[in-house]
Amino acid sequence: MVHDITIEEWLALREKGELTLIDVRSPSEFEEATIPGSVNVPLFDDAERAEVGTLYKKTSIQAAKDRGLEIVSAKLPSFMRTIAAIPGKKAVFCWRGGMRSRTTATLLSLLDIRVARITGGYRAYRKWVVDMLETFEITSDAYVLHGLTGTGKTAILQAMKERGIGVIDLEQLAGHRGSIFGEIGMRAHNQKTFESLLLDELLRLRNEPFVVFEAESKRIGKATLPEFLVRKKEEGAPIWIELPFEERVKRIMQDYRPWEHPEQSLEAFRKIKSRLHTPIAAEIEVCLQEGAFERAVALLLEHYYDPRYVFTATRYDEAERTVIRANSLEEAIESVESIVRDRQKKHLNA
């Protein structure tokens, strides 16, 4: 008999680290979106799924079942061994908790391999994510990092996280750095994946007194921030990071490594080329083509990114800012941590 568990029951087991989720959908379904932390062991590959689906729609349900059984029978030993090798307790799911996950759980039970099945499958999980985000509110106080491009805001967030401070790294969750060059060396997540990863982080941090995140725009790559997070950004205490120009160029070179992605860098630049004065744009393009990346970065900062950011910054009241003028990234990290730690102490002593 198949043992079904709800999304809520799965969450309780996940909190204890007692369950591995197995997504038996096809590789392309898994690639589009899944439950974070799941392992993909597909019952059908993409071509097989399409074939069975076509029979279901154009011939009959029975024809689809027969062909599905034929496909599964041929790969059953390998399929079972793969799942059996996954340690600990396991639960399987498919799109809506239907034929694929039921078949998997039933076959495994015949071999005394006990697995649970997620009721409603990925569709139920996705509905839970959407419902949660619609009503979610961040009750923690927030620090919001601002600064010109290259001031190391992401590196500061990573350092804060390593030091035990609550951090929401929105660029990491989106798989994008938030600029026209933002996908270079990364893989942008779609909205479904972003929201799943974001909700995981929000639930992990729900009891933190403070959270730190970057002042991102509403859209990061393919992902759009929920309204409650946009509001929190506007309400949060702004920390402005300032680093010397040379340090910023160095930071961008380390983060983007344009020499490893010369074609992507050039392609991204051409999307904004028309927004720059023609002689400057021409020089940047030549620099990118010839591998003079440091010079290209300096020109982009001076003539494109800095003027745009300075214009955006005029929306914020200078009196409300905490400004950190650091000579190095390490100094900026220490300053941000000091500010957050001091506030934590005041909160605990209040």
Q: Which residues are catalytic?
A: 94
Closest CA to 197 of 175, 166, 227: 175
Q: Answer whether 313's CB lies under 8 Å from 296's CB.
A: no
**Helix-, strand-, coil-residue percentages of the chain, each rounded to 5:** 60, 15, 30
The structure tokens listed for 331 are: 């100094």
Closest CA to 10 of 25, 24, 2, 21: 21
Q: CB-based burial of residue 271 (10 Å sphere; 0-12 exposed, 13-18 middle, 19+ buried)? A: exposed
- Neighbour count for residue 282 (Cβ, 10 Å): 12
Q: CB-based burial of residue 112 (10 Å sphere; 0-12 exposed, 13-18 middle, 19+ buried)? A: exposed
Phi-psi region of 157 (alpha: psi -120 to 50; beta: other; left: phi over 0): alpha
d(CA 90, CA 339): 43
Backbone φ, ψ for residue 90 (5° rounding): -135, 150
Q: How far apart are the first and last CA of the chain?
A: 55
d(CA 308, CA 41): 47
The structure tokens listed for 346 are: 């005041």
Closest CA to 141 of 238, 237, 240: 237
d(CA 90, CA 55): 31
